[in-house]
Amino acid sequence: MKISIVTISFNQCKFLKQCMDSVLSQRESLVKIGVELEYIVVDPGSTDGSRELIESYGDEVIKVFEKDKGPADGLNNGFALATGDVFGYLNSDDVFTEDALVFVCASFKEAKGEFDVLSGASNLIGPEGGIYRVLYSDVYSPIAFAYSGCILIQPSSFFMKNAFCKTNKFNVSNRTNWDGELFVDMGLAGARFKATKKILSGYRVHDESITGTMSTANRMQGYRDEMYERITGKSVSSYSNLAAIYFKYRRKLLNYRDTLQRIIGGKSFGRAVK
């Protein structure tokens, strides 16, 4: 088995080394269970020292230094080179937890084709790595996703190459939630999903992150409406808005671990980051 991880990087050198090391430090453990690690780093033109840092890793990483049309396009460029059986991607400000990739590959091996997408939990971390709380992925449900009542934590989500290849890849025009749209596309193509409570990543929020600033709220709402129409085949209405309230509170009950963490640690996204 081979696992391919793609990192997209653009002017976040202050976080990049920790990100890359969290991937590459797992190579030896993966070899012990018969898994090869392929790591692809995409940088369309950083000017803050990121490219020099990436270059310093030599043959440990496959480098893609070409201009792109944004994060989704960069991911497509990275995965175009990927040859693994299992895919995952890690933004340059996030990290994997120790032996996360070993757990992921062992899970796919043991499953023997029972699922195509595995989503775990993540530590929500700040700029210096302090943990705010734990985020837990939901069990994927297309109808719940349509009503914004299902969340899969991106850096803790991994998928089989075959499931990815059945989609049109990442939507380059989606500038806010390209990962969520990919999950929808894989679900519509017949992919089977599994959730685990295992913490697989550190999901960082900071002043420059989309999640941290929430400056794209209107575009996010437009994305949600589009996903609703794609999944249900219906236009957004007053009924769908009421149903969304139901699925919102349904999620709080079903994913009680995440709800308790939110009560203890406060809201996840859009928080003030110091």
Question: Residue 139: what pLDDT?
Answer: 92
pLDDT in tens, 245-262: 899 889 999 898 999 998
pLDDT band at 226 (very low <50, low <70, confident <90, very high): confident
Question: Residue 185: what pLDDT?
Answer: 95
Whose structure tokens read 């803790």? 156
**Comparison of pLDDT for 269 and 62, the residue scoring more:** 62
Q: What angle do CA 233, 237, 242 make, to 5 degrees?
A: 110
**Comparison of pLDDT for 36 and 219, the residue scoring more:** 36
- Alpha-carbon torsion angle 236, 239, 240, 245, nearest 10: 140
Question: Residue 214: what pLDDT?
Answer: 47
pLDDT score of 181 more than 70: yes
Tokens for 58?
């030599």
**Comparison of pLDDT for 4 and 209, the residue scoring more:** 4
pLDDT score of 271 more than 60: no
- In a 13 Å sphere around the CA of 135, the CA atoms on its Cβ side amount to 25
Whole-number mean pLDDT of the chain?
Answer: 90
Cβ atoms of residues 186 and 167 within 8 Å = yes
User: What type of residue sits at position 229?
Assistant: E
Q: How far apart are CA 124 and CA 121, in angstroms?
A: 9
Cβ atoms of residues 244 and 111 within 8 Å = no
Question: Residue 222: what pLDDT?
Answer: 74
Q: How far apart are CA 8 and CA 42, in angstroms?
A: 5
Q: What angle do CA 154, 155, 159 make, to 5 degrees?
A: 75
Per-residue pLDDT, averaged over 47-52, amounts to: 96
b/e per residue 63-93 (b: at least 16 CB within 10 A): bbeeebebbbbbbbbbbeebebbbbbbbbbb
- In a 13 Å sphere around the CA of 73, the CA atoms on its Cβ side amount to 12
- Of 64, 85, 83, 86, the C-alpha closest to 75 is 64
Per-residue pLDDT, averaged over 164-172, amounts to: 96
pLDDT in tens, 98-113: 999 999 999 999 998 8
Query: Is 148 strand, coil or helix?
Result: coil
Query: Is 119 strand, coil or helix?
Result: strand
Domains recognised in the chain with CATH numbers? 1-94 (3.90.550.10), 113-274 (3.90.550.10)
Beta strands in 9-73 (DSSP E): 36-42, 62-64
**Comparison of pLDDT for 173 and 156, the residue scoring more:** 156
Query: For the packed helices 256-265 and 238-254, what is the interaxial angle rounded to 10 degrees?
Result: 90
pLDDT band at 208 (very low <50, low <70, confident <90, very high): low
Question: Residue 141: what pLDDT?
Answer: 93
Question: Residue 212: what pLDDT?
Answer: 45
Cβ atoms of residues 105 and 35 within 8 Å = yes
Tell me the backbone φ, ψ of residue 174, rounded to 5 degrees: -85, 115
Tokens for 248?
């919102």
Question: Residue 262: what pLDDT?
Answer: 86
Cβ atoms of residues 234 and 240 within 8 Å = yes
Per-residue pLDDT, averaged over 152-160, amounts to: 97
pLDDT band at 224 (very low <50, low <70, confident <90, very high): confident
Q: Give the pTM.
A: 0.90
DSSP code of residue 59: G
